[in-house]
A and B are shown apart, each in its own frame.
Chain A
């Protein structure tokens, strides 16, 4: 077996084992579905883990109402094909309060529409385990997190009091008020994700592929004008630039990169060349040196 194929096989087997542990040991697990490439891979692995049975947990999408239009269309189609139950949750209090990424401030917007919304959804459905597609190579505090990562009361994360996690003997037990976050893709890298998408022929969102899109410059980042809610400056008109997205999120907070990549093969090629972390295109992660860790302690994924 080719080394690159063997690496993907090992990662796949490990992730399937983690998904099965989750299904076998929790009363009410849920899988986060954020529509991006990692979610696509996670969903594919879940199909494999429980084949020929159905995926034994629902998917949860936290919709901030500011996602790219193409994301929502893609989500609904994928979910219909996969025959899984999808729960979509929006923080209606936040909507009523008019929280938005332009005038509320990025931190406040993220806290209300993502972190609080997620906590609401987990509480409402009494999920005791939430499976996420985070990878350790994404961000420095994620490199420190367990595969089975305990959350205390209020979904808080205490990075200094994590359970020791040894071998593959996972402690999935919960004390009163605790819940679990599960990260089956912990050991994967961005290029593993793309190589696997290529190998398994997994469908991904069209936003990942380069095409001329209506863009405006903000600082040194390019942001797509996805709908009429985008506040243009006086006299500003979006210009068409051939770009693609490395990660998907809320459109006003997700920058695009110049690219000509129109196939998965070309994306793989590009990812292997590019030497910037994918988080570089996410505006919410720049808001302070330890912002990811802080958000995570409050319950963010």
Chain B
């Protein structure tokens, strides 16, 4: 940046005279790290924490955006963020220290994130008398790694950043090297043009004006032209592009990466997240994929928990159904794992609640990527790269039957629904469920209780009480409840279900108005005093590690339909619920 005069002079001057605490660089010398370490905490601690972005123009007029990422292991996720949009990865090797685990980690992450060119800058050769042997040794040590990682465009450059050897100008001291400089290797990069005739646009929004309706989004691939025949996924409706509208003109074509608005004929019903593809581009849609995932959050990935998947404008609830292995990025070893911790990279299977159109990341970075969002905190907790769709998903087509849920409900003269009781152990869920079932039965309703404890002796006997197992427990119970709901029944569930995201997922399985979440609000002291199953006693003595309220948190429902005060008389509580059912 400095060599190409891309940094404002007042910024350089500030980097000359501002010093981090403990800095050993003498005043008047430029502390280059200050040019990108912009946060107070970074300047105080003398480390890079987050990614900095700098746009600059190269000598040949091309645009370069530098994403400066921290290199320490605990910041792997920031590296992943920087690499996700990068074409070129610059891996810096300190020649005086040789190849280190950090080098292997950086190279592997670049490869996984789809970086196309790697430049290995072997720096500080001035301190080793510009030794060709050192350069060759590092070159030979790293070459097989890149072959293994599948990156064929690798450039090794011997450098002294201090003296400017091979940074922007060829070194006069390293006459044994006649290759390109760092700047040459960057400037020489040309993104590969799109190959193939496939075109795709994911709909971002529906554009409306008086007498106008179009679909807006960013085009990828070969491009569209007026008159092109297209298919809208997942509905598979066919249409023709009547015209392509942009502000300046109603131009005839829309090329790769252009943001446009398409007018379709006929004006079919399409919505945000739908995908438009040109005919002949048979894009597969599926609800099951195998993918690599980088976990970005301190709270580990929980199998079976419902998260939200975001890929461009596509959003869908997703669960990680299987962790196949976790990758050791230094040794390349694949180890079995139950969890993915922060900064870990694993191979997993994911299942979305509806079919979506993802492509292998190796073919399309744009449509092969997704992020995973925690549905409660809305934090971005994971980043995924699709390997391929799983046949299981695509081969199962939903069989429709002619007798519908509404028919079965009508036959029983009731509104089928799920009454979801949640609360601490001992709060009174089972007691309330039992009384509710009795009264419903007496009044001629068809109801059934799914009791958490009872199910654990059969359907869920393989599950324990870890967050993962609890998520799976709730998932199974909600699926069973959904089936019973479909048969026209009133389903009462009585299980602790301590996590909001799991309950939200249960709710998301059914239609609005079919799910009544009831929080049985009983103070833990009272639950403890009741202790009908002596569980609190055991938990207090440490015999039950994941007991809700002691070893594990209970997340109070954010938006329950009803809150029952668990200290009030039973019949009063049941009356409140009965009033809602009838």
Residues of A in contact with B (beta carbons under 8 Å apart): 3-4, 7, 9-10, 12-13, 16-17, 20-21, 23-24, 47-54, 136-137, 139-144, 159-160, 162-171, 173-176, 178, 186-189, 191-192, 275-277, 280, 289-290, 293-294
Contacts and interface: CB of A to CB of B under 8 A. Distances in A.
Contacts of A159: 39-41, 50
Interface stretch (B88-96, B327-335, B376-384, B449-457): B376-384
B257 A167 contact: no
Interface stretch (B147-155, B165-173, B204-212, B346-354): B204-212
A54 to B, nearest CB: 7
B376 A188 contact: no
B276 interface: no
Nearest to A275: B9
Nearest to A176: B558
Contact of A17 (B43, B56, B218): B218
A174 B379 CA distance: 9
Given A3-B62, A178-B378, A51 B39 contact: no
Contact of A167 (B36, B38, B51, B85): B85
Nearest to A3: B61
Contacts of B65: 187
Given A48-B246, A159-B50, A171-B371, A164 B380 contact: yes
B61 A186 contact: no
B310 A171 contact: yes
A17 B204 contact: yes
Contacts of A169: 310-312, 369-371
A167 B369 contact: yes
B207 A53 contact: yes
B55 A166 contact: no
Nearest to B258: A13
Contact of A293 (B40, B308, B376): B40
B218 A143 contact: no
Contacts of B54: 136-137, 143
A142 B370 CA distance: 25
A13 B9 contact: no
A20 B365 contact: no
Given A143-B53, A163-B379, A175-B378, A24 B369 contact: no
A173 B9 CA distance: 39
B49 A160 contact: yes
B18 interface: yes
A21 B203 CA distance: 10
B140 to A, nearest CB: 34
B84 A140 contact: no
A128 to B, nearest CB: 12
B50 A144 contact: yes
Nearest to B61: A3
Contacts of A24: 204-205, 272, 313
B209 A173 contact: no
A162 B50 CA distance: 9
A136 B366 contact: no
B274 to A, nearest CB: 13
A277 B8 contact: yes
Contact of B204 (A21, A186, A191): A21
A163 B53 contact: no
A171 B39 CA distance: 23
B42 to A, nearest CB: 8
Contacts of A293: 38-40
Main secondary structure of the interface of A (DSSP, over half): loop
A140 B40 CA distance: 10
B10 A277 contact: yes
B296 interface: yes
B247 interface: yes
Contacts, number: 164
Contacts of A48: 246-247
A16 B254 CA distance: 15
B376 A175 contact: yes
A51 B210 CA distance: 11
Interface string B4-42: 010011110000001000000000000000001111110
B61 to A, nearest CB: 4
Nearest to A277: B8
B61 A137 contact: no
Given A143-B38, A169-B370, A189-B56, 14 more contacts: A12-B259, A13-B218, A13-B257, A16-B259, A136-B53, A140-B38, A159-B39, A160-B50, A166-B81, A167-B366, A168-B218, A171-B378, A173-B373, A275-B9
Given A13-B259, A275-B5, A186 B53 contact: yes
B386 interface: no
B318 to A, nearest CB: 13
Contacts of A173: 308, 373, 378
B245 interface: yes
B497 interface: no
A53 B212 contact: yes
A296 to B, nearest CB: 11
B472 to A, nearest CB: 25
Nearest to A170: B310
A168 B261 contact: no
B475 interface: no
21 contacts: A9-B258, A20-B217, A49-B216, A136-B55, A140-B38, A141-B39, A144-B39, A144-B51, A159-B50, A164-B77, A164-B383, A166-B371, A168-B366, A169-B311, A170-B310, A171-B371, A276-B10, A290-B40, A290-B43, A293-B38, A293-B39
A80 B562 CA distance: 50
Contact of A189 (B55, B208, B216): B55
A54 B53 contact: no
B371 A174 contact: no
Contacts of B60: 3
A166 B204 contact: no
B205 A23 contact: yes
Contacts of B77: 164
Contact of A53 (B85, B208, B378): B208
